[in-house]
Chain A
Amino acid sequence: MSINLKTFRNMKNIFKNMLFTIAASGIMINSNAQNITLANNFMVGVTGGISTPMGNFAKTDYDNNASGFAGAGYNLGITGTYFLTRHFGINALVSYSQYSFKGIQHIADGFHESFDVDSSSATTKGSDHSISILVGPYYTVPLSAKLSVHFRLLAGITSSTLAGWDVVLTDAGITHPPLTQNTSSATAFGLQGGIGLHYTIARHWGVMLNGDYFYSKPNFAIENLDRNANAGREISSYNQPLAGINVNITLLYELHL
């Protein structure tokens, strides 16, 4: 079945108008909306999603001591919001984030070159992960009876762990003892803020889709073992922003206290 050009243009215009209407309704406060969420003054939920590190934390340059070798990972947590008014509330979030290790091949290649050996093998130790306890303001704007948009800015404590690695050098048939960068942990002030959409699926149930920027800057003291030669990548501290974007889905239970 073919669609003629006029029909296609009409559909395109209708679609454009729909998008404009949705966008406009996001800007204006829809005071007439009968929002079920706002009838409830407390909501609690489980949240999870994809965490994408950015900046130095995500770099994989062997020769750059700021490189964090963090790749995309996931986060899981529990969140709760208590509404003080129709639009304004206090949001709390306890979450665990874990990132994949990106660029282990660069570590192996870098030590291979640094020590001019026949081959080298690198294996990660532990993982990059964080536990955050954050609290902050939450502002919601209803878009329709079931849909609302919200903004939040959270601050608190983030305890993070940086992955380490073992590198084994092999040269002229001799396998040398591994060089080790141990995992290390540090705690710092943490921030998270973003925007999300809330959709009410039943009287007490809702789902949220969130996009948040997260940031903390812990000062890790790093222990290195069996480093006899002053060669190859060796850092004794790491004080770079652990930042990135979380995209989450949250399952909420809403109630009126």
Chain B
Amino acid sequence: MKKKNIIIVSTLCVLVSMWSSCDKKEQAVAPPLPGNEPLTTMILRATNVSDATDTSSASWVELDPTGTIGPDTSHATLHLKVGATYNVTVQLLDTLNDITPEIKARENYHLFCFDVAPGLNLTCKQTDLDTNPKPLPIGLTDLFTTGIASNGHLEVTLHHQPNVKDGTCAPGSVDIDATFTVKIQ
């Protein structure tokens, strides 16, 4: 009788402890990874839609990620003709590699934005689309249309918009911010 009671009570204890043991919420955090190479260089390459020999390129370089030294803008001028349309490509580099394919692979949450300074007769429009459920512009390829002769600045920013990309420049953070000079002559 005593043996029976011990077995019954032990079995019930095991069953009850299982019932109460493992119903908990699990949580995990993936922390920042050290050592990511910062983007250092943006290159714009423009080709006249009507004249393939009419090309221009400009590069903006900032090797100091803290921004203390300031960017090298000695080659950051784009020369465009009056009243013309240009196909433009954007290339990004870090200190070691061409990062453009990576941006392309992550197109669904990246967007290039173009801010044209007042007085510069230029319009910029992204021509490539991502693969989001509702396709949105990326900006790795673009169409620049010039007006009358003018000079000014063009600020190109790459926006990182994880799960918040909506086609506007507002959401997310900025991965690189480069300012070029554009001369329309």
Is B173 in contact with A171, judged by CB distance below 8 angstroms?
Answer: yes
A141 part of interface (Cβ distance < 8 Å): no
CA distance A202 to B133 in the complex (A): 66
CA distance A173 to B172 in the complex (A): 10
Is B22 in contact with A98, judged by CB distance below 8 angstroms?
Answer: yes
Is A201 in contact with B15, judged by CB distance below 8 angstroms?
Answer: no
User: Of all chain B residues, which has the CB nearest A123?
Assistant: B27
Is B14 in contact with A48, judged by CB distance below 8 angstroms?
Answer: yes
Within A37-74, the residues touching B (CB, 8 Å) are 46-50, 73-74
CA distance A98 to B21 in the complex (A): 11
Encode contact with A along B9-34: 1 for CB under 8 Å, 0 otherwise. 00110110011011101111111100
CA distance A148 to B166 in the complex (A): 67
A120 part of interface (Cβ distance < 8 Å): yes
CA distance A172 to B160 in the complex (A): 9
CA distance A48 to B20 in the complex (A): 12
The number of chain B residues with a CB under 8 A from chain A is 39
B106 part of interface (Cβ distance < 8 Å): yes
CA distance A34 to B104 in the complex (A): 77
Residues of B within 8 A of A223 (CB): none
Pick the contact of A101: B26, B132, B165 (CB < 8 A).
B26
B127 part of interface (Cβ distance < 8 Å): no
A151 part of interface (Cβ distance < 8 Å): no
B52 part of interface (Cβ distance < 8 Å): no
Is A171 in contact with B172, judged by CB distance below 8 angstroms?
Answer: yes
User: Of all chain B residues, which has the CB nearest A47?
Assistant: B15
Residues of A within 8 A of B164 (CB): 176-177, 228-229
Given contacts A74-B21, A76-B18, A169-B163, contact A230 B132 (CB under 8 A): yes
Residues of A within 8 A of B174 (CB): 172
Residues of A within 8 A of B161 (CB): 229
Residues of A within 8 A of B108 (CB): 229-231
Residues of B within 8 A of A201 (CB): 3-4, 7-8
CA distance A171 to B30 in the complex (A): 12
Is B12 in contact with A251, judged by CB distance below 8 angstroms?
Answer: yes
Is B27 in contact with A121, judged by CB distance below 8 angstroms?
Answer: yes
Is B132 in contact with A121, judged by CB distance below 8 angstroms?
Answer: no
CA distance A100 to B18 in the complex (A): 12
Encode contact with B along A92-130: 1 for CB under 8 Å, 0 otherwise. 000000101100110111011001111111111001000
B123 part of interface (Cβ distance < 8 Å): no
CA distance A173 to B131 in the complex (A): 26
Is A115 in contact with B162, judged by CB distance below 8 angstroms?
Answer: yes
Within B151-183, the residues touching A (CB, 8 Å) are 160-166, 172-174
Residues of B within 8 A of A76 (CB): 15, 18-19
B1 part of interface (Cβ distance < 8 Å): yes
Is A119 in contact with B29, judged by CB distance below 8 angstroms?
Answer: yes
Is B172 in contact with A104, judged by CB distance below 8 angstroms?
Answer: no
CA distance A169 to B164 in the complex (A): 10
CA distance A172 to B172 in the complex (A): 8
Within B104-124, the residues touching A (CB, 8 Å) are 106, 108-109
Is A124 in contact with B163, judged by CB distance below 8 angstroms?
Answer: no
CA distance A228 to B163 in the complex (A): 5
Pick the contact of B163: A108, A112, A115 (CB < 8 A).
A115
CA distance A227 to B32 in the complex (A): 22
Is A124 in contact with B173, judged by CB distance below 8 angstroms?
Answer: no
CA distance A174 to B159 in the complex (A): 13
Residues of A within 8 A of B25 (CB): 123-124
Within A188-207, the residues touching B (CB, 8 Å) are 201-202, 205, 207
**Extra contacts besides A123-B27, A201-B4 (19): CB < 8 Å:** A46-B15, A50-B18, A76-B19, A119-B31, A124-B25, A124-B26, A169-B162, A172-B173, A172-B174, A173-B173, A174-B173, A177-B164, A228-B132, A228-B166, A229-B161, A230-B130, A230-B133, A231-B106, A251-B8
13 A-B pairs (CB sep. < 8 Å): A48-B15, A76-B18, A109-B30, A116-B160, A119-B30, A119-B31, A121-B28, A121-B30, A123-B27, A169-B163, A202-B4, A230-B130, A231-B106
Question: What are the 4 tightest A-B residue pairs by CB atom distance, in nearest-first order?
Answer: A172-B173, A112-B30, A48-B15, A115-B162
